[in-house]
Structure 1
């Protein structure tokens, strides 16, 4: 039995789609089962509730030998690391109680991020919490999601502009969520691995934000330019969009860590996934902008 958390999320949904093509038993945890496609409700065992709730996790993990774990985003939290850890402790208790054998989770790429790197540090602390249960654990370590640009469809479409808290000429590590999901599904199909290991997942690109603007302009056939902002301006923007002070500061600290080279070592050494930025722009960004 494989348990999938966040089955309607950007990554969890793609993991689930792949696993449903096989014949292994699937169980999903969903706050609102009505949001699940009919084929999921027909094929999978559905547990209603939050996967961060102890009783729900205990029920869902019973009889399971593999789990796909994601900490759901919450930009209203007053303590980023405490939120990540408190969300994951019920899962850890259920993992130990039911003898789950393998866990695959979405974590983060980065070296030297154990402290003072905002959401990156919180994700790394979560890795240690899960690993301490003794379960075989693979922490997927992606960098910046290409899909983050979908939050900027309006300025891209209407102003020919996108915003990033990175310098225009700094190589930025990227990944498409489809490649994260594919790696997760691959690991969940594999019964053989043991121990704890971080698994970087990254695109084949080595491009700067200015390069991204050039590619977007070519694919969209209209001028698109980057507006680089400082991490502090990014913090202020997030506050203006309703994020808590803690979450906004965590995102600013994360951007600072990225700009200071947190991703560089793994970007140089990681085995890249298949989806490049130009391909993603053609297949995902362009339809979204034109739509």
Structure 2
């Protein structure tokens, strides 16, 4: 029995489908269980409620661990690990460059959980994905309104990865022991900037999509206006600036090594989700 946390999220939904297609017993944990597809065992779980977590992990053999980006990740990771019981395997979604200079925000989110998992006596695999192809869905309002797509990365590129490939790698890590004690950095096979992705989308949609650069000071002011504190805003800007400077402009062969095939391209992801862009 595999427990999938974040079961209604971008990766979780695909992971549930892939596991059920392989007839693997799976339990979905969600604060909104009504959103889980019929036929899947579901438990209402909340990282802030230890009793609900104990019910979620009761009788499971492996846990897929993911939570929404933010400063709560360390607390949530450790809360689940504290009650993990007999679960002999853990697969955690982390982030690229965790622990590296320039990525202090995501490192602060993920390093405590990564370290606790590595210090445990369980089998474990840590997945550090690059920028998700699905992040481009944030541009839908601008695309529909005919406005320029904002970029916080300038011309900086990243090895944009299809979330479906992340889920597929997670399946292999959960179902076999071949990936025990491995940290995989998951990327696509090409480096793309926001402008590159916009060009692919524009061609697909038959539109001319423009991109506008958002300077760091303007970016920071916007974060503060939305209620983010100074330190958090500084860390976020630092991460964007790292990508802008090229720190994320790399690809790995980890997806290919695990899946035995090349990663899906951004064009493939966009084509398969064209209807979401209107």
**TM-score, with normalisation over the residues of structure 2?**
0.87
Q: Secondary structure at the match of 1:38?
A: coil
- The alpha carbon displacement at 1:109 in A equals 1.2
Aligned length: 273
Which residue matches 2:174? 188
Which residue matches 2:146? 159
Structure 2: gaps of 5 or more residues: 257-261
Q: Secondary structure at the match of 1:39?
A: coil
Which residue matches 1:77? none
Correspondence list, 1:127-276, <5 A: 127-168=114-155, 170-194=156-180, 196-241=181-226, 247-264=232-249, 267=251, 270-271=254-255, 273-276=262-265
Which residue matches 2:2? 2
* Deviations, residues 61-89 of structure 1 (Å, cap 9, x unaligned): 22211110002345xxxxx2xx2221111
Which residue matches 2:100? 113
Structure 1: gaps of 5 or more residues: 75-79
Do 1:29 and 1:51's aligned partners in 2 also have CA atoms closer than 8 Å?
no
Which residue matches 1:27? 27
Distance in 1 between residues matched to 2:10 and 2:99, nearest whole Å:
27
**TM-score, with normalisation over the residues of structure 1?**
0.83
- The alpha carbon displacement at 1:191 in A equals 4.0
Q: Secondary structure at the match of 1:200?
A: strand
RMSD: 2.4
Distance in 1 between residues matched to 2:149 and 2:135, nearest whole Å:
11
Distance in 2 between residues matched to 1:279 and 1:153, nearest whole Å:
18
Which residue matches 1:67? 63
* Deviations, residues 161-194 of structure 1 (Å, cap 9, x unaligned): 21121122x3322112111111112221214543
Distance in 2 between residues matched to 1:111 and 1:242, nearest whole Å:
25
Do 2:186 and 2:252's aligned partners in 1 also have CA atoms closer than 8 Å?
no
Do 2:61 and 2:88's aligned partners in 1 also have CA atoms closer than 8 Å?
yes
